[in-house]
Amino acid sequence: MHGNAMPDSYVYVTEEGVTRHYADGSVEALAWEDVVEVRVVTEAGEDVLYILLDRDGEGCVVPRSATDATFLARLRYLPDFDLDRLTLAADSTRDGAVVVWRSPDPPSALPDLEYD
């Protein structure tokens, strides 16, 4: 068999939300109207991750390698979203997680995420 290996996941972006399908069959999905926070996670030698969270701290992890102009354009619809802030965080050489956007009406507290 010829061709590229099956990716470990793929991402769909629609007007309604974002969905990530994993090779093991699991799925993460989040409606745009439920997004209350966007985080960027950087780690040397790894793909940059965009993490979209809802009020319960559940969400969808989107690797930068799986994004396109549609994803970035849709983020701009979030109130006062700053694409330059997202780009600066994603291009950072420092390891860590940065909140690049939070809803003007966020929940009282979102859980901190731990990364191995």
- Name the average pLDDT for the chain: 87
Confidence of residue 9 (pLDDT cuts 50, 70, 90): confident
Confidence (pLDDT) at 91 = 94
Distance CA 5, CA 98 (A): 32
Domain spans of the chain, in order of start: 33-102
For residues 69 and 83, is the Cβ–Cβ distance under 8 A?
no
Distant-in-sequence, close-in-space partners of 80: CB < 8 Å, separation ≥ 6: 101, 104
pTM of the complete model: 0.82
